Structure 1
Amino acid sequence: MANLLVRGIDEALVTALKERAVAHGRSAEAEHREILAAALRRPRKRSLAAVLAAIPDVGEDSDFERVDSAAEAPDVFD
């Protein structure tokens, strides 16, 4: 595993890191690793089925039917 040395960090940030680490029951080093991992972690790819299932159920199927001519189309802007 590689090591990472970060220099020139503002003391207020170091204090905030240590406070956050205590709140999560971790060392400052472990908290730093978790913050980096969370910031750089790639989002999980979702399947097409999951994406489609997440689409909200809006309207009736007839609301989305294709209309072949302008004469048949309802005037929705009145």
Structure 2
Amino acid sequence: MSSVTVRNLPDATHRALKLRAAQHGRSTEAEIRFILEGAVAPSVGLGSALAAIGRSVGGVDLQTPRDQRPIEPASFE
């Protein structure tokens, strides 16, 4: 596994990382790994992935009737 050293990190940024790590129950090092992994991960969401699958099989045309009744507000009593 590789290592990275970050030099000249502002004190405010380091404090913010430590605070964020504590809020998530991780060490500062683990929090930095989590942030970096998220930053470089592919940003394909579930909806985009499902749409791509649909296109790959030729698509699907759904005729779904909508409920036309008025929406009643929820009652919490």
Same fold (TM over 0.5): yes
Q: CA RMSD in A?
A: 2.3
Aligned counterparts of 1:48 and 1:34: Cα–Cα separation in 2: 29
What displacement does 1:30 show? 0.1
Unaligned runs of 5+ in 2: 65-77
Aligned counterparts of 1:41 and 1:49: Cα–Cα separation in 2: 23
The normalised TM-score by structure 2 is: 0.60
Is residue 48 of structure 1 aligned with residue 53 of structure 2? yes
Deviating runs (4+, > 6 A) in structure 1? none
The correspondence of residues 1-78 of structure 1 with structure 2, limited to 5 A, is 1-44=1-44, 46=49, 47-49=52-54
Query: Percent identity of the aligned residues?
Result: 38
SS state at 1:22 partner: helix
Amino acid at match of 1:11: D
SS state at 1:9 partner: coil
Paired residue total: 53
Q: Deviations over 1:29-76 (max 9, x none)?
A: 0000000011111124713318x68xxx8xxxxxxxxxxxxxxxxxxx
SS state at 1:29 partner: helix
Larger Rg: 1
Aligned counterparts of 1:39 and 1:33: Cα–Cα separation in 2: 10
Amino acid at match of 2:27: S
Aligned counterparts of 1:49 and 1:12: Cα–Cα separation in 2: 47
Aligned counterparts of 1:43 and 1:13: Cα–Cα separation in 2: 25
